[in-house]
Amino acid sequence: MEALQKALDQLDQATAAVRLAVQDLATAPATEAAGDAAHALSGGAIDPFVFRFAIFVLAIFVGYYVVWSVTPALHTPLMAVTNAISSVIVVGALLAVGISASGIATGFGFVALMLVSVNIFGGFLVTQRMLAMYKKKDK
């Protein structure tokens, strides 16, 4: 009887944690809320960091297979979209550098800003070179 009561108490705590995670879903990033929900549903067996890290690793694999399966004809449009996504990353990196109170966040924001700048300018150079291949040569 005592074990049953303990299990019911844990279930109530997990239910309350899931309710809080669902309420926070509107204000917190989706991965944070999903990690908290997995932590609550498993009774604390799954650490939210492990859940978020698993999502990150899966995103790496999906991105790798998506990028390497692109045909050469779609390379230029893909580069244009990548540059557009990188411009959004620039905004986030600028915010991290400008308004963060932590020195670590400022450092990571600066590194992100440098890397995304190289990505954007390199993407424009590659796109320009690819488009030049399709121009007729003047004789």
| 39 vs 32: CA distance, rounded Å | 10
Q: Which two tokens stand for residue 15?
A: 């239910």
Q: DSSP states of 20-89 as a string? A: HHHHHTTTS-HHHHHHHHHHHHTTT-S-HHHHHHHHHHHHHHHHHHHHHT--GGGHHHHHHHHHHHHHHH
pLDDT digits (tens, 9 = 90+) for 69-94: 777 767 667 767 777 777 788 888 88
Return the pLDDT at 134: 78
pLDDT digits (tens, 9 = 90+) for 25-62: 444 566 666 667 776 777 767 777 877 788 888 988 88
| 27 vs 4: CA distance, rounded Å | 35
pLDDT at 95 over 80: yes
pTM: 0.43
Q: To the nearest whole number, what is the mean pLDDT of the chain?
A: 74
